[in-house]
Structure formats: C-alpha cells, structure tokens
Chains A and B, each alone.
Chain A
Amino acid sequence: MSVIISTDDLEHSCPNCKGQKYIIANDQNEPCPKCEGKGVVLTALGQTLLHFIKKHI
C-alpha cells in the first residue's frame, strides 16, 4: 500500500494574507503577522514531517 501526501496535507494557505505573504498596512506592504510572512500555515502532518527531517538531516 502506498501513501500519497499532498501539499494540502502539509500546509494551508494563510487566510489572513490569502497566501500573499504580505498585507497592506499604513499604505505599505508588511509581512503578514498571522503567518509570519510565510503565506502558509503548517498542518500537524506538515510539522511532524518538518521536525523529523530536521532531526535526521
């Protein structure tokens, strides 16, 4: 049995900046404070995989 993991299983587009990484504040582009300018929010699976890879790399 094979397990296929999609990107959507690992991360979701930030609903605050809609994946744009920036929001307009005071007429300027500022990094989205909700996702820290990443544009995405990790899922539990995404964080698990990230920590596993960081640990063993």
Chain B
Amino acid sequence: MNQKNDFVVIKAIEDGVNVIGLTRGSDTRFHHSEKLDRGEVMIAQFTEHTSAIKIRGKALIQTSIGELESESRK
C-alpha cells in the first residue's frame, strides 16, 4: 500500500468535529488541526509530514479498509 496515495474521507455528523494531523517521525506531535461543522467533508491524505490522523467528535469516516463512525465527546 502506497502511504502517499492513501487518504481518508471524514464527514462531520455534528458541529465542531476536530481533525488533527500527527507528525511522522520519532516524535508524534500535533502539527495541524481543522474544525468541521455538521455536514462538512474533509478528504485527508497521509503525507511525508502526516503519519496519523486523529478525529474528535461524531463523524463518519471512510478509509480504504472500511467505514466507521466516531462518537461524540461527553
């Protein structure tokens, strides 16, 4: 699987969903954050800078290996 072509689709089901990119390398930092409101869609790729993506809030997530839903924060 080519990591540079791999991407995820995130659709916010509620307001204020956060999509956070984590750095590739020895230390894993948050280098980028994006807020999605209800209905907004983000298509994010894994890149040379981003090796992980964290999603906070209720969202529908589609990846090459399947679909899942994240849950609301309390």
Contacts and interface: CB of A to CB of B under 8 A. Distances in A.
Interface residue tally on B, bucketed by range? 10 to 19
A15 B35 contact: no
Interface residues of A, number: 16
Contacts, number: 35
A41 to B, nearest CB: 4
Interface in A3-57: 8-9, 11-12, 14-16, 33-36, 41-44, 47
Interface of B: 18, 20, 27-35, 54, 56
14 contacts: A12-B18, A15-B54, A15-B56, A16-B30, A33-B27, A33-B29, A34-B29, A34-B30, A35-B30, A41-B20, A41-B33, A42-B32, A43-B34, A43-B35
